Amino acid sequence: MIVLIGVSLLIFAIARVIPGDPARIALGPNATAEAVAVLRDKLHLNDSFLEQYGYFVVDLLRGDLGLSLYTNRPVMADIAQFLPATLELVIVSGLMMVAIGLPLGILSARHRGSWIDHTVRLVTLLGVSAPAFVWAVVLMLAFSYFIQIFPIAGRISDSCTVQTVTGFLLIDTLIAGNFKALGNAVWHIILPAFALALSGIGQAARLVRSNMVETYDKPFIEMAQAYGFPERRIARRYAFRPSLIPSLTIIGLDFAAMLGSAFLVEAVYAWPGLSRYGVAVILRKDLNAIVGTVLVISAMFLIVNLIVDLLVSIINPRIRLSQRAS
């Protein structure tokens, strides 16, 4: 809660020092001075900073983030519409990061020093070295323009009709039993999700590989090898789990960071998500929408960190036992 209060104060202040008059930008250059003055008074822009923040806090406690000057709708309604698309993209990207990055790290550590290790390290280095939007453009050109395997933009084809229940297309199509639309939605999300996940895949693989190589030098690994345990069992059961503990925190931070970096991928693939909406309202200096978007992303970031801390305490018996003792 304290973190969210601090974030709200910071973004509230930053949003108000961005050059430009929000009322003038909203009404356009042809609006009269009287109309601009009326809108400024309605938005409390003529009041002091503390008075403006006080109005914001009072409205926030009522569950009201104000009216968006960009869409002319309540900010809460905009967030409810755009957030599921971004969360769906980020969750699929996170699953890809774990499902691909961790096995690559284990494979590289098991065959450390071999050509497999060098190949995996080279591939993961390429994933880390370029930002997500670069991979988004490269993948779009390769698999949507030249080879034309995946769709080029959007969440689902116009020919597919889906009744919105949760806002998550993969879930809504599954609830409706519309497997044709489900397949279409999956086909649309693969490329942008993979582009967003590539950096995290490389980071996860390199972290797991580094920690597992260090774990392989521990005495209990040498004892397991001396007893003749299968190499796959040693890697999976005795080397991977201790190595996952320090890696999990960074992987969790990478997952949370996707919420902020998704806007570039969303812009490339015309993905109607919250991150893309956030960039649009920043360019139009839509104060209410800016603060609301940043607060939601910050809250998601805190929730992910909390989940990571819980997972670390479950995986690490020393933390779990120390909590019970206290």
* Same domain membership, residue 186 and residue 43: no
We report the CATH number of the domain holding residue 233 as 1.10.3720.10
Q: Using the predicted structure, report yes or no on whether residue 165 has a pLDDT greater than 90.
A: no
Instruction: List the single range of 69-83, 146-160, 218-232 with lowest mean pLDDT.
Output: 218-232
Residue 296 lies in a domain: no
* Same domain membership, residue 258 and residue 128: yes
Residue 103 lies in a domain: yes
Q: Span 125-140, mean pLDDT?
A: 87
Half-sphere exposure (CA, 13 Å, Cβ side) for 28? 2
* Same domain membership, residue 80 and residue 51: no
Name the domain boundary from 61, 89, 105.
Answer: 61
pLDDT reported for residue 256: 80
Residue 277 lies in a domain: no
The rounded percent of the chain whose pLDDT value lies above 90 is 13
* Same domain membership, residue 134 and residue 24: no
107-113 CB contacts, 8 Å cutoff, 24+ apart = 108/205, 108/209, 109/208, 109/209, 109/212, 109/213, 109/216, 109/235, 109/239, 109/243, 110/231, 110/232, 110/235, 112/209, 112/213, 112/216
> 211: which residues sit within 8 A by CB, 6+ positions away?
242, 243, 244, 246, 247
Task: Name the β-bridge partners of 116.
Answer: none
Q: Span 174-185, mean pLDDT?
A: 89
Which residue has tokens 């297309």? 169
Rounded Cα distance between 276 and 274, Å, is: 5
And the tokens for 136?
Answer: 């988004």
Structurally, how many domains does the chain consist of? 2
Residue 48 lies in a domain: yes
Residue 290 lies in a domain: no
CB 204 within 8 A of CB 97: yes
Q: Using the predicted structure, report yes or no on whether residue 193 has a pLDDT greater than 90.
A: yes
DSSP SS3 for 202:
helix
Q: 32-53: per-residue pLDDT in tens?
A: 888 878 888 887 777 887 888 8
* Same domain membership, residue 92 and residue 158: yes
* Same domain membership, residue 247 and residue 138: yes
Rounded Cα distance between 125 and 163, Å, is: 42
* Same domain membership, residue 149 and residue 12: no
Residue 71 lies in a domain: no
* Same domain membership, residue 266 and residue 126: yes
- Domain residues for the domain of 56 are 2-61
| 27 vs 120, higher pLDDT | 120
* Same domain membership, residue 134 and residue 26: no
> Residue 168 phi/psi, 5° resolution?
-90, 110
Residue 289 lies in a domain: no
Name the domain boundary from 14, 31, 61.
Answer: 61
Which residue has tokens 């789990």? 241
* Same domain membership, residue 54 and residue 115: no
* Same domain membership, residue 189 and residue 114: yes
Residue 283 lies in a domain: no
* Same domain membership, residue 201 and residue 87: yes
| 216 vs 185, higher pLDDT | 185
